[in-house]
């Protein structure tokens, strides 16, 4: 079995296990453990399923077979430093991505509402700084670390020899990984940007930075929305941007500007990758002998699983 096939089956096993734990959470299985079920579920999925499981399976299924050490294994996952210029480009992309992700998220959820989809969420009660810190860890730190390890690092180890196909596979799997229609749409855009950064730099760290920045912003604005305080100006600005005609126009202009800047920054990152010899000059270059995706069985198994979950969540939201 090739490395790509091994990684594909490992990733499918990870997604299947995540789904089983999600079903267990929906059935309230964890309430008997006398712990906060959401926190327990998040920690188990992030640390064990997206962290320990892919590393362990990759070690036994690939690294030992190829007789490579742990250092090479982490290198396969893209655990390598980047230079200062790529770091600055990644930071700029992360800031632009906040605006773009917010815009796509709003548009996607608005479109779902137009066709009668009902999304019932359970907002976090930010009653203390302790809750804020807990949410930063659970929502920002853990996903930025372990989701990137599995959805970028693991897939990079298996698909990097397939060239640009890694970007498509990573973005698609990342969106389907959320296993609900509300997040499936706009997370594809996030996944595309993060995968491009990893493809260009060969490092997992730019994606971790963007992932953390985006999720931290979401948590922090949720806290400010409930508590105000010295950051209440954020609520005032947000209300102006979303509830007034001038604010909406400014929001649209900001979205377009950030989208253009993001494209420019990504092109700069790609140019550096070509100059350093990490990438071929042709944008869609594929090494000779690369297996096409339509022949990739584990790829289609994962796609089928993700689409089934998204379809179920969509149907569930339509009949509420």
Cα(219)–Cα(306) distance, integer angstroms:
26
| CA neighbor of 149 nearest in space, from 199, 205, 68 | 205
pLDDT value of residue 39: 84
pLDDT-flagged residues of the chain (< 50): none
Hey, where are the domains in the chain? 3-319
pLDDT value of residue 198: 96
| CA neighbor of 154 nearest in space, from 137, 176, 174, 140 | 174
pLDDT value of residue 50: 96
The per-residue pLDDT for range 274-308, each reduced to its tens digit, is 998 888 888 777 777 788 888 999 999 999 999 99
pLDDT value of residue 174: 95
pLDDT value of residue 150: 95
pTM to 2 decimal places: 0.92
pLDDT value of residue 27: 80
């Amino acid at each position: 079995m090739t490395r790509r096939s091994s990684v594909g089956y490992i990733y499918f096993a990870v997604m299947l296990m995540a789904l089983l734990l999600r079903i267990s959470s929906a059935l309230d299985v964890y309430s008997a453990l006398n712990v906060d079920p959401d926190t327990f579920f998040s920690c188990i999925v992030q640390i064990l399923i997206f962290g320990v499981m892919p590393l362990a399976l990759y070690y036994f299924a690939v690294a030992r077979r190829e007789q490579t050490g742990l250092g090479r294994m982490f290198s396969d996952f893209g655990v390598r430093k980047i230079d200062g210029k790529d770091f600055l480009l990644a930071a700029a992309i992360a800031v632009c991505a906040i605006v773009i992700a917010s815009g796509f998220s709003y548009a996607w959820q608005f479109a779902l509402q137009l066709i009668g989809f009902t999304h019932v969420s359970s907002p976090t009660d930010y009653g203390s700084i302790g809750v804020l810190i807990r949410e930063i860890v659970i929502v920002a730190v853990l996903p930025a670390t372990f989701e990137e390890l599995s959805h970028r690092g693991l897939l990079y180890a298996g698909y990097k020899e397939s060239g640009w196909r890694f970007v498509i596979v990573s973005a698609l799997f990342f969106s389907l990984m959320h296993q609900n229609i509300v997040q499936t749409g706009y997370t594809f855009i996030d996944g595309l940007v993060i995968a491009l950064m990893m493809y260009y730099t060969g490092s997992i760290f730019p994606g971790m930075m963007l992932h953390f920045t985006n999720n931290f912003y979401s948590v922090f604005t949720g806290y400010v929305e409930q508590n105000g305080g010295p950051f209440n100006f954020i609520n005032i600005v947000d209300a102006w941007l979303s509830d007034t005609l001038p604010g909406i126009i400014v929001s649209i202009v900001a979205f377009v500007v950030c989208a253009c800047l993001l494209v420019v920054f990504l092109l700069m990152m790609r140019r550096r990758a070509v100059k350093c010899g990490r990438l071929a000059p042709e944008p869609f270059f594929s090494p000779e002998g690369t297996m096409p995706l339509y022949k990739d069985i584990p790829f289609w198994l994962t796609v089928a699983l993700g689409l089934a979950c998204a379809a179920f969540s969509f149907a569930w939201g339509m009949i509420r």
